[in-house]
Structure 1
Amino acid sequence: MSPDALNSLFSLCIGFALAGALTSGYQALVHRPAGFGLLQEGAAPKTFAAVPFLVFAAPFIIMRNTLRGAKVERRRVEFVMLATVLAGFWSMMSGTFFLMTLRAAGLLA
């Protein structure tokens, strides 16, 4: 495996792990699952604070909603595959940003 492919795989894994940790922490604090409904509370400071949270938590929320919809609503395989690719790409981008931030802060070599 090339170093670039390994770096992309590591970013993907870090992105999903970060998204899962954020949504699990949110659910532990407020006793309800995180979702995109956090943005529908109007122009309030709480809504603006939800945007950075959702940027990093979105891959987990997308996959949770997709897998739940595949079982409950009998969604087509193509829709599940498209949502999985979208969540994977989003996870890789957020993982890359997170790793670049750690490198810039001097926490990673």
Structure 2
Amino acid sequence: MSPEALNSLFAIGIGFALAGALASGYQALAQRPAGFGLLQEGVAPRAFAAVPFLVFAAPFIIMRNTLRGAKIERRRVEFVMMATVLAGFWSLMSGTFFVMTLRAAGVLA
């Protein structure tokens, strides 16, 4: 496996782990699951604060909603696969950003 592929795999894993930790932490504090409905608060500081949270928690929310929809609503396999690819790419981007931030802060070598 090439170093670039291994780095991408690591970034995807970090992105999903970060998304899961953020969404689980939100659910523990707010006693309700995180969702894109946080943006429906109108023009309020809470809605603006939800944007950076959702940027990093979105892969978990997308996969949770997709798997629930596949089970409950019997969604087609193509839709589930497309949502999985989208969540994976989003996780790759957020994981790459998080790793780059850690490197810039001197936490990672």
Does TM, scored on the shorter chain, surpass 0.5?
yes
- Where do 5+ consecutive residues of structure 1 fail to align? none
How far does residue 102 in structure 1 lie from its aligned partner after superposition? 0.2
- Where do 5+ consecutive residues of structure 2 fail to align? none
Helix, strand or coil for the counterpart of 1:16?
helix
**Alpha-carbon distance in 2 for matches of 1:70, 1:107:** 39
Q: Report the equivalent of 2:17.
A: 17
How far does residue 28 in structure 1 lie from its aligned partner after superposition? 0.3
Count of matched residue pairs? 109
Q: Report the equivalent of 2:51.
A: 51
Percent identity reads 86
Counterpart of 2:31 in structure 1: which amino acid?
H
**Alpha-carbon distance in 1 for matches of 2:45, 2:11:** 31
Runs of 4+ that moved beyond 3 A: none
What value does the CA root-mean-square deviation take over the aligned residues? 0.2
Normalised TM-score (structure 1)? 1.00
How far does residue 65 in structure 1 lie from its aligned partner after superposition? 0.1
Q: Report the equivalent of 1:40.
A: 40
Q: Deviation per CA, 1:21-65, whole angstroms, max 9, x where unpaired?
A: 000000000100000000001000000000000000000000000
After superposition, where does 1:1-109 map in structure 2 within 5 Å?
1-109=1-109
Normalised TM-score (structure 2)? 1.00
**Alpha-carbon distance in 2 for matches of 1:18, 1:3:** 22
